Homo-oligomer: A and B are copies of this chain.
Amino acid sequence: MLNKSSHPKDVRLACRLQQHSGNTSGLAAGFVQANMVILPKADASDFLQFCQLNPKPCPIVALSAQPGDTGIAAIAADLDIRSDLPSYRLFRHGELVQELPDIRELWRDDLVTFFLGCSFSFEEALLADGLEIRNITEGVNVPMYRTSIRCQSAGKFSGPMVVSMRPMKPADAIRAIQICSRFPQVHGAPVHFGDPAAIGIADLTQPDFGDAVSIKAGEVPVFWACGVTPQLAIAEAKPELCITHSPGCMLVTDIPNSKLALF
């Protein structure tokens, strides 16, 4: 059985053999997990620029060296991008058309693969420091909100920044800012804390994605740029073809989380 002690390669192999099709949260603890976006070359250069212009919501962990490449040795040994994630989503012209266990039959020589950092890495660093993460304590998905912060546009890609929220006491928030600042490739430091209205959030109890969490007396909401941001930009851009991981079903890389730390 896969568990937190599994080696990343074993998780990927179980996915390839279709022995695991679910969430990767909690598997292969200590290793970077990444969001995946696959686009035709015609759209990939604009999307790359979008990520470069908006590094906090769209931090690039790895990019395929050539269109059509099905592996990226630097992040995962013997990786087959077409099969080594638990579940895939196929979008055509911005519409979700299918959820698939692998994408071998869809593969084309012009497809470019992006892996983007995800919050699992910084959550692990916060927990290791003794901080509480409310969505983990309460066993729910982190609450996420569309904001009034506009991403910088690149070609057809544009949209609002989406943020995730974790409530903390101010002193814990200061510590979380210090820790997350070391990890720019997994969203880095928070982008805001305190007043939700200042970034266009009307009601914290009504997240746009994920689940609401309780906020206790003396706590403030702390907001991080979120990996749902590029998904919204892709939905607005309506590229002819786009393939992503299914929510929560990430690529488990061979990179230890600590390798992403600046210092």
Residues of B within 8 A of A218 (CB): 195, 198
Q: Chain A interface: which size bin? A: 10 to 19
Number of copies: 2
Q: Which residues of B contact A194 (CB under 8 A)?
A: 170, 194, 220
Flag if B177 contacts A174 (CB, 8 Å): yes
The residues of B that contact A193 with a CB separation of less than 8 Å are: 170, 173-174, 193
User: Which residues 107-148 in A have Cβ within 8 Å of B in the complex?
Assistant: none
Bound-complex Cα distance A171 to B191 (A): 6
Cα–Cα distance between A171 and B194 once the two chains are bound (Å): 10
Quote the shortest CB–CB distance from A191 to chain B (angstroms).
7
User: A198 contacts B178, CB within 8 Å?
Assistant: no
A residues engaging B (CB < 8 A)? 170-171, 173-174, 177-178, 181, 189-195, 198, 218, 220, 263
**Can you pick out 27 interface pairs between chain A and chain B where the beta carbons lie within 8 Å of each other?**
A170-B192, A170-B193, A170-B194, A170-B195, A170-B198, A171-B191, A171-B192, A173-B193, A174-B177, A174-B189, A174-B190, A174-B191, A174-B192, A174-B193, A177-B177, A177-B178, A177-B189, A178-B178, A178-B181, A178-B189, A181-B181, A193-B193, A194-B194, A194-B220, A195-B218, A198-B218, A263-B263
